[in-house]
Structure 1
Amino acid sequence: MKTQFFFRHLIAIASLAVLITSCNNDDDFTAPPVINGEQQLKDTLTIGKTLKLSSKIKDRNNLSFEWTVDGKVVSADSTFTFNPEKRGDFKINMTAKNSGGEVTLTYDIHAWGAYENGFFMINEGWFGHGTGTVGFYRYDTKAIEDSVFVKVNPDKNLKPESSTLEFGTIINKKLFLVSKVGGPVVVADAYSLKEEKRIEAKGGNDWRAIAAINENQALLTSGKGIFKLNLNTMELNGQVDGITGQVGDIVKVNNYIFALSATKGVLIINASTLAVEKTISGMAVGFAVTDDKKVWAAGGTKLINIDSNNLEVTEIALGFQAYGSWGAWHPGSIAAAKNDVFIAKNASFSGGKEIYKYTGDVASLAKPFVALTGVNILYGAGIGYDRKKNNLVVNTVDSGFGANFANNNLYFFNADSGAKTSGVSFSGYYFPAVSVFHQ
């Protein structure tokens, strides 16, 4: 009996020792850090702004932190303020450690260029009173920023005041600004808007629009034909033979360049030889390019498309008169959205109030897709398609004369339904010409 009591007593002591040891181990245990929520996050910001990033850890006691940007250690704090110096995509990792383990949080950040998260508004300006201007509509603020070109380039201008800024486009990540009536052609970085090169303003200049042939060469239309332009030096290298008089809108698709002549209609130019291969007379409005690489123009009461592979032409009954803008040229009031085409029903000397959408069925032209109300009328090109937002973008002024032209509206319509989604009203004699979108 004594022996059994002894062993029972020994087992009890051993069990107590195990329990004490176990308790001591529990006291020494440290739980690894835990992130609240997802461990893979995304965000954006615009150059010039900052973004404060959190570790997403509630209990930060006894933790060490390490932040890296694209693999480079940048901070040991529990939070990190990101201030990128260039646009692009960045991977930011936060690692939190303690004696119990570690955890990692990843931020994928896209830094927009200063003038990337939105679109440009090219304004011709009030003739004789001031030069044209470049505005910028910013998606996140839903506001228009005025005269951004001269704000970024305070030592530059778009003079003379007798010129009008009528056209803009983005080529090779560069924004090209094209002026009529003695004005310059300016090249600026499409994201920072910092000027890089220009054709100086000069009496006799009368530019219209520009299209690139390749990365090094472009064609520049004018009041007296088409000029060849070196994109690297911004030097003119003569003119395209056989083309005279006023030429406006121009676009390159596949191996052809399509240019709109005031007297001859659509000129189809071989991009390799610069020889005119085909002319389509009677056309007054151009150009829209659909995703199927068809080029669209209009004239008389016809809407046409040109297959850029074989130059075959298809005619569609438009149902109204298509007027050009040769008396006071501005880019054509026509735009493409995927494989659909928008065209404005403009009056002969003023902007119209109706926008039609052709979807491949002539019945789609039976009634307007958008009808402006009140005193609103289109001005300049008046319409553009914002692919990023799937919006039809519309510029209007008030009908009439004088002070009416200082009443501006920028409207957004869903490109599928035609429903007006938003708008911005603003005052000033801007005389909008065309909207330019990042692609």
Structure 2
Amino acid sequence: MKTQFFFRHLIAIASLATLIISCNNDDDFTAPPVISGEQQLKDTLTIGKTLRLSSRIKDRSNLSFQWTVDGKGVSSDSVYTFKPETRGDFKIEMTAKNNGGDVKLTYDIHTWGAYENGFFMINEGWYGHGTGTVGFYRYDTKAIEDSIFVKVNPDKNLKPESSTLEFGTIINKKLFLVSKAAGPVVVADAYSLKEEKRIPAQAGNDWRAIVAIDENQALLTSGKGIFKLNLNAMELNGQLEGVTGQVGDIVKVNNYIFALSAAKGVLVINAATLAVEKTISSMVLGFAVTEDKKVWAAGGTKLINIDSNTLEVKEIALGFQAYGSWGAWHPGSITAAQNDVFIARNASFSGGKEIYKYTGDVASLARPFITLTGVNILYGAGIGYDKKKNTLVVNTVDSGFGANFANNNLYLFNADSGAKTGGVSFSGYYFPAVSVFQQ
């Protein structure tokens, strides 16, 4: 019995010792770091800007930090300032560590190109007083940046001053700028706007618009037909046979190219053979392309759509006279959102105040979708659709003459409801031509 009592007493002493040791260890315990809030975050910024990233840890005592960008160590501070040199997606990870363990925080950052997070404003310029200009409306600041092409390319220009910059589009991530009246065709990176190539300005040039056939070839419309263009060398390679006179707007859908001729209306061109397969006369305004791959144009009091597979033409009563702009050409005042078509009711050149929306029901053309107020009138193409924001972009000047043309407004309307969602007023003889949206 004495022996059993001895062992029980010894076990009790050992248990007490273990309890004392455990308490001492608890006193020395270090809690691992704790992040405040979510541990995986997203953000964006534009090249040229910086973004200060926090570790999101309140108690930073006795901690070590490690920041990596796409797996490469970049900092050991508790905060990190990210300044990207290229556009794209970056994964930034922060690891905080102490004796109790570690914790990770991830930032997924998308970096926009310098001129990606917004849209371009192509301005024809004040004829005889200066060249056309390229502006940029930035989504985050809701402001317009002026004359960005010459700011990015200080050793380049869009001269002669007698030319007008009337058209722009993005092909293969390149912004193409097309000038009339002896001006150049310029190719710039669509994100940085740095010039890469050009067809030099020279007497006899009279360009209108451009469309890509494939990655290597394009068609360039002009005051005297359609020219074939090698996109790699930026060299002309002859003209399309049988197409003469002024040709303006041009689009490619499926296996056909649709071009608007002042003399013949819509020319339907086989994209493989470059032969004209069909002509649709009396059309003066084009083009919009809906998601169902129909091509839209207008002439007289008719709105038409062309099935890009069968080339079948359907006519819709427009309810008002459609006008083109052959006297002083600018891109057509027509655009599309999904399967809806927007068309401006212009005067004989520009100057309209009403924008109609055709939704597939002729009743939708009974009244304007948007009516401009006050002295505002459309100028140039006047309307464009921004798919990224589901916004109808509208350019206006004041009605009248002279100094009235220096009063500009950029309006943004919800493409579904027609409600105005924003706008910027600015001064200067810009003469807006067309908006160009990143793809």
Taking structure 1 as the reference length, the TM-score comes to: 0.98
1:313 aligns with 2:303: no
1:249-288 equivalent positions in 2, closer than 5 A: 249-288=249-288
Name the counterpart of 2:185: 185
CA distance in structure 2 between the aligned counterparts of 1:14 and 1:113, rounded to whole angstroms: 69
- Deviation, 1:96, is 1.3
Aligned to 1:153: 153
Between 211-220 and 19-28, the greater mean CA deviation after superposition:
19-28
Distance (Å, rounded) in 1 between the aligned partners of 2:82 and 2:98: 25
Write out per-residue CA displacement over residues 395-429 of structure 1, whole angstroms, 9 at most, x where no aligned residue.
00000000000000000000000011111000000
Offset at 1:12?
5.8
Offset, 1:70: 1.0
> Partners in 1 of 2:391 and 2:200 — Cα distance?
35
Pairing of 1:82-101 with structure 2 (within 5 A): 82-101=82-101
Please state how far the C-alpha of 1:130 moved relative to its aligned partner: 0.3
Structure 1 counterpart of 2:58, one-letter code: K
* Gap regions ≥5 residues in structure 1: none
Deviations 1:12-68 (A, max 9, x none): 644442232011111222111111111110000000001111111111111121111
Whether the 8 Å CA contact 2:337–2:387 is kept in 1: the answer is yes
CA distance in 2, matches of 1:285, 1:313: 15
In structure 1, give the amino acid aligned to 2:419.
A
Query: Paired residue for 2:74?
Result: 74
Match of 2:140 in 1: 140
1:179 counterpart letter in structure 2: S
Per the TM alignment, residue 98 of structure 1 is displaced from its structure 2 partner at its CA by: 1.6
Q: In structure 2, what is the Cα distance between the partners aligned to 1:278 and 1:229?
A: 22
Q: What is the RMSD computed on CA atoms of the aligned residues?
A: 1.4
Structure 1 12/224 Cα, relative in aligned 2: closer, same or farther at 3 Å? same
Deviating more after overlay: 352-361 vs 341-350 = 341-350
> Identity over the aligned pairs, expressed in percent?
88
Inter-partner Cα distance in structure 2 for 1:91 and 1:105: 10
1:162 matched to 2:162: yes
Residues 364-375 of structure 1: matches in 2 within 5 Å?
Answer: 364-375=364-375
1:109-140: per-residue Cα shift (whole Å, max 9, x none)?
00000000000000000000000000000000
Letter in 2 for 1:58: K
Residue 379 of structure 1: aligned partner: 379
- Correspondence for 1:114: 114
- State the one-letter code of the partner of 1:229: L
SS of the residue 1:396 aligns to: strand
Kindly state the Cα deviation for residue 6 of structure 1 after the two structures are TM-superposed.
7.3
Match of 2:415 in 1: 415
CA distance, structure 2, for counterparts of residue 12 and residue 69 of structure 1: 56
Shift of 1:5: 9.1
Structure 2 residue 359 is matched with structure 1 residue 348: no
Aligned position for 2:358: 358
Query: What is residue 438 of structure 2 aligned with on the other side?
Result: 438
Matched with 2:228 is: 228
Distance 1:289 1:6, change over 3 A: same
- Structure 1: distance between partners of 2:221 and 2:14: 98
Task: Give 3-state SS (helix, strand or coil) of 1:404's partner.
Answer: helix
Aligned match of 1:198: 198
Give the stretch that moved more between structures: 120-129 or 51-60.
51-60
* C-alpha separation in 1, matches of 2:309 and 2:351: 34
Match of 2:63 in 1: 63
Answer with 245-254 or 66-75: which moved more. Answer: 66-75
- Rounded to whole Å, the distance in 1 between the matches of 2:417 and 2:349 is 30
Distance in 2, Cα, partners of 1:180 & 1:328: 10
Task: Tell me the alpha carbon deviations over residues 373-397 of structure 1, each in whole angstroms, 9 at most, x when there is no partner.
Answer: 1000000000000000000000000
Secondary structure of the structure 1 residue equivalent to 2:23: helix
Match in the other structure for 2:303: 303
Deviation at 1:72, TM superposition (A): 1.2
The secondary structure found in structure 1 opposite 2:19 is helix
Residues 219 and 227 in structure 2, CA contact (< 8 A), matched pair in contact too: yes
What is the total number of aligned residue pairs between the two structures?
A: 439
Distance 2:186 2:99 in 1: 60
Deviates more, 1:99-108 or 1:182-191: 99-108
Q: Note the alpha carbon deviations across 1:350-390, whole angstroms, 9 max, x for none.
A: 31000000000000000000000100000000000000000
Q: Secondary structure at the match of 1:81?
A: strand
Deviation for aligned residue 1:9? 6.6
Q: Does 1:26 align with 2:26?
A: yes
Residue in 2 that maps onto 1:244: 244
On the 8 A contact 2:324/2:349 being kept in 1, the answer is: no
What are the superposed Cα offsets for residues 166-223 of structure 1, whole Å, 9 maximum, x if unpaired? 0000000000000000000000000000000000000110000000000000000000
1:127 counterpart residue number: 127
Distance, in Å, in 1 between the alignment partners of 2:255 and 2:103 is 54
**Alpha-carbon distance between aligned partners in 1 of 2:13 and 2:187, rounded to the nearest angstrom:** 89
Which residue matches 1:52? 52
**For 1:377, what is the secondary structure of its paired residue?**
strand
Match of 1:397 in 2: 397
CA distance in structure 2 between the aligned counterparts of 1:72 and 1:315, rounded to whole angstroms = 61
Distance in 1 (CA, whole Å) between partners of 2:209 and 2:2 is: 112
**Counterpart residue identity of residue 103, structure 1:** V
The superposition leaves residues 206-254 of structure 1 with CA deviations (integer Å, 9 ceiling, x where unpaired) of: 0000000000000000000000000001000000000000000000011
Instruction: Name the residue aligned to 1:17.
Output: 17
8 Å CA contact 2:123–2:432 kept in 1: the answer is yes
- TM superposition score normalised by structure 2: 0.98
Question: In structure 2, how many angstroms separate the alpha carbons of the residues matched to 1:152 and 1:126?
Answer: 21
CA contact (8 A) 2:354 2:370 kept: yes
- Verify the 8 A CA contact 2:350 2:380 in the aligned structure 1: no
Instruction: Point out where structure 2 has 5 or more consecutive residues left out of the alignment.
Output: none
